[in-house]
């Protein structure tokens, strides 16, 4: 039994289908990243899985129960896309209040250290900076010692140091048996954390698989080489050039190398590498458009 699941779910708002027959799941101990452009249906999906919205058509399950079941929801942590905090409550009080809702919360000091909350404990939560509020919202999702955590755009607006601290805690959470379902626009975040990627667009699932699966299906390669002049190749696009070292993307690396040789350009230090997940996903969207 999947820990969380949507089965053939359709959600419609007027003429707009936010989800159109979507089926997806989160297995025990797995990290899933749901990716797609704005309006793809990601937030709707995560809201159904966590009981924040009701299913209109199809089925949603959380630990085999309705996601609105109190006992099922007590075993999860959630960071919604937008979070606000009570006026006149300090960060330490918000943390203590949240922990009291769970039977076996993570030790207070562990959460404070893991998310760097100590400097903010005595400050009112509603006057923190946007990045500090986002960091607190993610910390609260983990403080109840959940089986699974659902994060909707968890690190938007955070600097790289804070993002990496969150990634480290997420990895530790997963290594200890936790499950994770997140939406994100940061492809490097998905690549760093997720076991499985789901690409969604216009309320439908377009692709699904491991990072390696997605890269293999798109079959994009990165070529790098040094050249005195800018190459003009039909089989590849130039992504970058720094001090005469060019980076190209190609869906047929062999053809690009043949074309490069035939062009007569003097080149050296050629490398042919797998594309990043970000490059593979961008290539996938361009094929669909």
Kindly report, residue by residue over 124-151, the tens digit of the pLDDT: 999 999 999 999 999 999 999 999 999 9
In a domain, 276, yes or no: yes
In a domain, 121, yes or no: yes
Mark whether 238 and 205 lie in a shared domain: no
In a domain, 9, yes or no: yes
Domain of residue 254: give its range: 219-288
Per-residue model confidence as pLDDT tens digits over 56-84: 999 999 999 999 999 999 999 999 988 88
Mark whether 113 and 183 lie in a shared domain: yes
* pLDDT of 201 over the 60 cut: yes
Helix orientation angle between 130-142 and 108-115, rounded to the nearest 10 degrees = 140
> For 169-183, what is the mean pLDDT?
94
Name the strand (E) or helix (H) holding 7. strand 4-13
Residue 289's pLDDT is 52
Structure tokens at 129: 């900076």
User: What CATH number is given to the structural domain containing 75?
Assistant: 3.40.50.300
In a domain, 214, yes or no: no
> For 181-207, what is the mean pLDDT?
90
Per-residue model confidence as pLDDT tens digits over 245-262: 999 988 889 999 999 999
Mark whether 81 and 165 lie in a shared domain: yes
Burial 4-17 (b: 16+ CB within 10 A, else e): bbbeebebeeeeeb
Q: Residue 5's closest CA among 43, 55, 59, 77?
A: 59
Structure tokens at 1: 């039994």
- Residue % of the chain over a pLDDT of 70: 98
Residue 156's pLDDT is 86
| pLDDT range class, residue 284, cuts 50, 70, 90 | low
Please count the structural domains in the chain. 2
* pLDDT of 215 over the 80 cut: no
In a domain, 28, yes or no: yes
> For 76-100, what is the mean pLDDT?
93
Is the torsion defined by CA of 127, 131, 134, 138 positive or negative?
negative
* pLDDT of 273 over the 90 cut: no
Mark whether 10 and 142 lie in a shared domain: yes
> For 213-219, what is the mean pLDDT?
76
Of 177, 209, 241, the residue at which a domain comes to its end is 209
Mark whether 121 and 262 lie in a shared domain: no
Residue 288's pLDDT is 58
Mark whether 250 and 136 lie in a shared domain: no
Using DSSP's 3-state secondary structure scheme, residue 71 falls into: helix
* pLDDT of 219 over the 80 cut: no
Mark whether 130 and 238 lie in a shared domain: no
In a domain, 153, yes or no: yes
Torsion angle of C-alpha atoms 251, 257, 259, 264, degrees rounded to 10: 150
Which pTM was predicted? 0.83
- Between CA 78 and CA 181 the distance in angstroms is 10
Mark whether 204 and 283 lie in a shared domain: no
* pLDDT of 283 over the 80 cut: no
In a domain, 229, yes or no: yes
The region of weakest confidence among 43-47, 91-95, 187-191 is 187-191
């Amino acid at each position: 039994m999947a820990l969380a699941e949507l089965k053939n779910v359709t959600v419609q708002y007027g003429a707009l289908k936010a989800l159109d027959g979507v089926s997806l799941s989160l297995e025990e101990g797995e990290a899933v990243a749901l990716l797609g452009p704005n309006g793809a249906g990601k937030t709707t999906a995560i809201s159904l899985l966590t009981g924040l919205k009701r299913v209109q058509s199809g089925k949603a399950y959380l630990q085999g129960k309705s996601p609105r079941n109190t006992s099922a929801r007590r075993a999860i942590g959630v960071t919604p896309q937008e979070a606000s905090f009570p006026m006149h409550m300090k960060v330490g009080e918000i943390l203590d209040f949240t922990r009291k809702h769970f039977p076996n919360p993570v030790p207070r000091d562990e959460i404070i250290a893991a998310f760097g909350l100590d400097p903010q404990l005595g400050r009112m939560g509603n006057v923190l900076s946007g990045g500090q509020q986002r960091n607190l919202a993610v910390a609260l999702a983990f403080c109840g010692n959940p089986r699974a955590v659902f994060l909707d755009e968890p690190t938007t607006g955070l600097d790289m140091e804070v993002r990496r601290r969150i990634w480290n805690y997420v990895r530790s959470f997963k290594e200890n048996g936790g499950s994770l379902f997140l939406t994100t626009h940061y492809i490097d975040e998905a690549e760093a954390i997720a076991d499985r990627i789901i690409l969604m667009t216009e309320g439908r699932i377009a692709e699904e698989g491991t990072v390696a699966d997605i890269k293999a299906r798109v079959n994009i390669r990165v070529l790098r080489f040094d050249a005195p002049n800018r190459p003009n190749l039909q089989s590849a696009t130039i992504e970058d050039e720094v001090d005469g070292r060019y980076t190209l993307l190609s869906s047929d690396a062999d053809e690009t190398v043949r074309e490069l040789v035939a062009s007569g350009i003097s080149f050296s230090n050629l490398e042919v590498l797998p594309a990043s997940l970000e490059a593979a996903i961008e290539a996938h969207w361009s094929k669909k458009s």
